[in-house]
Amino acid sequence: MLKLIQTEFLKLRRRKLIWIMMLAAFVMPFFALLYFHYFGKTGVDPIQFYKWSAFGFTSLIILPFVLGMLCTILMHDENQSDMLKQLFIVPVSKMGYFFSKFFIVLLYSTCFMLITTVASVLFSVLPGYVTFEWGSVLFLLKKCLEIGILTAFAMLPILAVAASQKGYIIPVCMTLIYSFLCFFIMTANMYLHPLSSISVIIARNGDIPGLAFTQAINVPLAFLCIFVWDIAAVLLTNITLGKRK
């Protein structure tokens, strides 16, 4: 398993697009900067700024889409050139191969949210919109780490779809459908989609004021939703890779 992870790291050095995608972490902090600059507000509540820069579109759309692209890229090369058959002859554990890819997604997601944290602090404090306080910075860091880790698990179904396909089109389309489906399902039931369940977990105990939910917050149910989707993704991958002989 460790050798597989090491191999994935070595392959990342040749994929410049993956590092370019990391720049998306600056998108919402920058728009938050423009938003508060437009209204000319100073002395803004830090949580209000971070809702724009890290807790909103970053966690619901930008990060899931970036991770979906990452899942597709990680799986594409071996699928496209039928290298999986050679790998499994070696032999390489099919699920070990899958989870080594997931480890990269998990690490990438965490780094992405750490960059979002730094960008949010810089774009809020340097222009003077937010007063620097260690308490609010640590709160932002904690929430961003939670988002980074949980979103990686929420994207496991997309990694499973990417593992079952040889091309880019279906995994990318599934990423878009998966991300936007969250908004439609969220209004009816927040515990049917992993991404909406993450919002419930992040906003537990009223940590992020101003967020309105259609249902009562139930953190165990939110974790159960993510767990069920992940188990289904692992089973799908086991079946799909099991057919590659």
119-169 confidence digits (pLDDT tens): 999 998 888 888 888 888 999 999 999 999 999 999 999 998 888 877 778
Residue 16's H or E segment, with its range, is helix 16-21
Dig out the tokens for 108 from the structure.
């990438």
Helices (H) and strands (E) in the chain, counts: 13, 0
Please state the length of the chain: 245
CA–CA distance, 205 with 219 (Å, rounded to integer): 10
93: left (phi over 0), alpha (psi -120 to 50) or beta: beta
CA–CA distance, 155 with 67 (Å, rounded to integer): 7
Task: Note the pLDDT of residue 62.
Answer: 92
Low-confidence stretches of the chain (pLDDT < 50) are none
Q: In whole angstroms, how far apart are CA 193 and each of 16, 85, 136?
A: 31, 34, 29
Crossing angle of the two packed helices 94-125 and 156-164, in degrees rounded to 10: 130
CA–CA distance, 166 with 175 (Å, rounded to integer): 15
Q: Which residue has the tokens 């774009």?
A: 123
Task: Note the pLDDT of residue 137.
Answer: 92
Task: Note the pLDDT of residue 226.
Answer: 94
Residue 96's H or E segment, with its range, is helix 94-125
pTM: 0.89
List Cβ neighbours of 90 (8 Å cut-off, separation of 6 or more): none
Give Rg (Cα) of the chain: 19
Cα 60-183-99 angle, rounded to 5 deg: 50
Both ends of the chain: CA-CA distance in Å? 21
Residue 65's H or E segment, with its range, is helix 63-80
Specify whether the CB–CB gap between 193 and 181 falls below 8 A. Answer: yes
Task: Note the pLDDT of residue 87.
Answer: 64
Q: Where are the beta strands (DSSP E) in 81-121?
A: none
Which candidate, 181, 220, 217, places its Cα nearest to that of 200? 217
Task: Note the pLDDT of residue 88.
Answer: 64
Task: Note the pLDDT of residue 156.
Answer: 92
Residue 217: Cβ-neighbour burial (10 angstroms; 0-12, 13-18, 19+) = middle
